[in-house]
Amino acid sequence: MNTYRNSFIHTIKEAPNDAEVISHQLMIRSGMIRKVASGIYSILPLGQRVFSKLNTIIREEMNQIGAVECDMPHMVPSELWKTSGRWNAYGKELLRITDRHDREFCFGPTHEEVITDLVSFYTKSYKQLPVFLYQIQTKFRDEVRPRFGLMRGREFLMKDAYSFHESRASLDDCYHQSKAAYRAIFTRCGLQFVEANADSGAIGGDESVEFLVVAESGEDEVLVCESAGYAANVEAAPCQQNQFNFETSVHEVPAFKVVDTPKVRTIDEVVKFFDSPDVTPATVLKSILVMTNDSPIMCCLAGDKPLNETKLTKVLGAPFRFATDDEVRAHCGASPGFIGPVGLPSNIPIYLDYSLAQSLTYVCGANQNDRHLTSVSIVRDVKLATTNSVMVDIRNAQAGDVYESPTGDQRGTYTSQRGIEVGHVFKLGTKYSHAMGACFTNQQGKLTDFEMGCYGIGVGRTIAAAIEQSHDEHGIIWPEELAPYDALIINLTPKDPHVCDAVQTVHDFLVGHGLDVIVDDRADSPGVKFKDADLIGIPRHIIVGKHGLSSNHIELKHRRTGEKVMVPFDSLDTILN
Ligand code: ATP
Ligand code: MG
C-alpha cells in the first residue's frame, strides 16, 4: 500500500522567498521538488510520479506518429559542436567541461549535432528515409536568470525529437503530424494553449511554431488575431505598413529647422525639452546605428515603438550589434543621442520602420552634437531625399495593431496574451546536415543534404504550466492525466482497526480497478490531513472515519469542484465515475 510515509511525501507550510510564481510555490510546498542550487532541483517521489505520467503521454503520442525512442549522451565532445559551428556561436548558455585528458565537452543543451552525426552514419540512401527519433532527457543550459522553479531551470527534462527526410514534402508531412501530436499531448494534460508562429531564425525561410500555455505569469507575449485565426510570438508577429500621405508630407510641411538642444539625448529628454503637445514620444524619431559585417546601418523608429532585434536580424540577413559610441561619432559625426537620418553620409543605408507614417513630422538628431531638427518629414527629407532608405518591419507589434494575412483576405487587430512556451516545432531544413556534411544518395543517385525537423517539449515546464492554470488558494488541482495519484484515501483514525480494515477494502477495490492510490494514515489531526490533501491536489479524496462507517458510509470529495458525497460502503463503484 502506498502511504505518505513510505512514499517520502513531505509538505511544507511556507514557500521560500525566491518562489515568485504560484507553480513554484506549490511544487515546493507539496513536496514535489527541492532546490539544490540556482535552477537545479531534486525531483521528489511525488513530483516524479507526475513526470512519469507526462512522459507516458508524450511517449504514447510520439510513438503514435512513428517516432522511435533513443537516448543520447549528456556529455558531447566539442568536435561535434565545432562541425556545426555552434561551439563558438552558442555563447555562455553552453556548459563546457574539460575531462582529465584536457578534452573539451559540453553538457548538451539540445542534440542536433549528436543526432545528425548518428543518423548520417547509418542512413546512406533515400530508401532508408524518413528517420524519426526522440529522447526524453535532462538538458543543461546555463541560463542568465534561472527562475520560477522548473519553468526556467538550468538542468531540465526535455523531450527532443529529430526527423530526417529526403524531401521538403516529407518534412512538411512530419512537421504537421508533430503539431497534431503536440495538440494531443497538451489537450490530454488539460491545458489551454495557443499555437503561435515563432521566429524562424536569422537566415532562411524556415517555419517554426511555439505551443504556449496561456498564463499571466508567462514570460512570452503572444499576439492573437482572433478574426484571422492567427497567433504569433511578439518576436515574430508581423506589422502592417502604415500609408504615408505623400501630398501633405511633401507640400504642406514647413521646412525642417535646426534647434540647439544642449545635452538633450534621450526621447524623454527631447519631449521634456520642447515641452509642446506636438512633441511626444510618438513624434520623436529613435535613430539607432547598428553594425553588420562591420558596416553601419541606421534604423529609425517612432520613439514610442520598441526595436525588435529578431526582425532586424532577419531583415539584415545577418547578425548585427549596436555600434559603439566611437563608431557612432566616426560614421555620423555626432554623439549618440544627436544622430538622425537627415544629412547622413550616403554610404549608410537607412532602415525606416513601417510605423513611421504615424506622424507627418518628427523631431530627430541633427548629426551635430547638441542639435536636433524639427519638422522633419520622413517622405520629403528622408525617403525621397536618399536613395538608400527602405521601409521595413523592425518593431514589436502591439495590441490594437492591424494583422493582415499574406493573401490579404483575413484581417483584424491583435490582442495580447501572456504565455509559457511549453513546446516548439521547427523546420530546420538543411542547416545542420549541410554544415556537418550529412547527406544521402537520392532517387537520382545524387548526394543530397537531409531535410531536417526538430521538435521539443519542456517536461518540467509543462508540469509547472499545468499548475499555473489549475490551482486555487488551497493548492494544486491536478488535471486527471497528470495527477500523481488518481485517489487519496484519508484514514481519519489510523489507530482504529475497524477503520483500517475499511481503508484496506477501499484501497484494494480501487487498485483492483486500475487506479493509482495513496493512503494518508499519519497520526496527524484531520485538519492537517485535509489541508495537505488540498495542497497536493489529487483529484479524488476518500475520507474514511468512524463516524461515516457507523452508518456504512465513506465520504468522497472531488478536489476540482469541492463537491462532497457520502458513498455507501457497498457501492464503491461511485468513486470510479
Ligand atoms: P526559451 O525561449 O523559453 O528560453 P527556447 O526557445 O530556448 O525557450 P527550445 O530550445 O525550443 O527553447 O527548447 C524546447 C523546449 O524546452 C521549450 O519549448 C521549453 O518548453 C523547454 N525549455 C527551454 N529552456 C528551458 C529551461 N531553461 N527550463 C525549462 N524548460 C526549458
Ligand atoms: Mg532559451
Digit-coded pLDDT (tens) for 12-45 = 999 989 999 999 999 999 999 999 999 999 999 9
CA distances 518 to 80, 348, 508, 557, Å, are 47, 70, 11, 15
CATH of the domain at 269: 3.90.960.10
- Residue pLDDT, tens place only, 40-83: 999 999 999 999 999 999 999 999 999 999 999 999 999 999 99
The Å distance, Cα 347 to ligand 1 centre, comes to 40
Report the largest interatomic distance among the alpha carbons of the chain, rounded to a whole angstrom. Answer: 96
- Based on the fold, state whether residues 26 and 106 are members of the same structural domain: yes
Average pLDDT for 123-142: 98
What sign for the dihedral angle of Cα 472, 476, 480, 481? positive
- Residue pLDDT, tens place only, 455-514: 999 999 999 999 999 999 999 999 999 999 999 999 999 999 999 999 999 999 999 999
CATH of the domain at 445: 3.30.930.10
Starting at the edge strand found earlier in the chain, the sheet holding 285-292 runs: 321-322, 285-292, 295-302, 350-353, 389-392
pLDDT band for position 420 (cuts 50, 70, 90): very high
Residue 200 pLDDT > 90, yes or no? no
Residue 409 is assigned to a structural domain of this protein: no
Residue 297 is assigned to a structural domain of this protein: yes
d(CA 348, CA 366): 15
Last residue of a domain, one of 376, 392, 408: 392
pTM (two decimals): 0.91
Nearest residue by C-alpha to atom 28 in ligand 1: 152
- Residue pLDDT, tens place only, 224-250: 999 999 999 998 999 998 888 877 877
pLDDT band for position 406 (cuts 50, 70, 90): confident
* High-pLDDT (> 90) share of the chain, %: 90
- Based on the fold, state whether residues 206 and 305 are members of the same structural domain: no
pLDDT of residue 204: 43
| Helix locations, 128-266, DSSP H | 168-188, 246-251
φ and ψ at residue 566, rounded to 5 degrees: -85, 130
Domain count, the chain: 3
Pocket probe mutation, ligand 1, options 23, 154, 206, 424, max atoms within 8 Å of Cβ: 424
Pocket probe mutation, ligand 1, options 38, 211, 421, max atoms within 8 Å of Cβ: 421
Last residue of a domain, one of 467, 500, 531: 467
- Based on the fold, state whether residues 339 and 450 are members of the same structural domain: no
| Helix locations, 252-308, DSSP H | 267-274
pLDDT of residue 201: 54
- Residue pLDDT, tens place only, 507-529: 999 999 999 999 999 999 999 99
- Based on the fold, state whether residues 250 and 232 are members of the same structural domain: no
Q: Using N-to-C axis directions, what is the helix angle for 459-469 and 22-29, rounded to 10°?
A: 100
Query: One-letter amino acid identity for 291?
Result: M
Average pLDDT, the chain: 95
- Based on the fold, state whether residues 218 and 272 are members of the same structural domain: no
Residue 563 is assigned to a structural domain of this protein: yes
| Helix locations, 242-308, DSSP H | 246-251, 267-274
- Residue pLDDT, tens place only, 433-459: 999 999 999 999 999 999 999 999 999
Residue 147 is assigned to a structural domain of this protein: yes
Ligand nearest to the CA of 462: 1
- Based on the fold, state whether residues 58 and 192 are members of the same structural domain: yes
Question: Closest ligand 1 atom, CA of 210?
Answer: 18
> Which residue segment(s) compose the domain that 510 sits in?
487-576
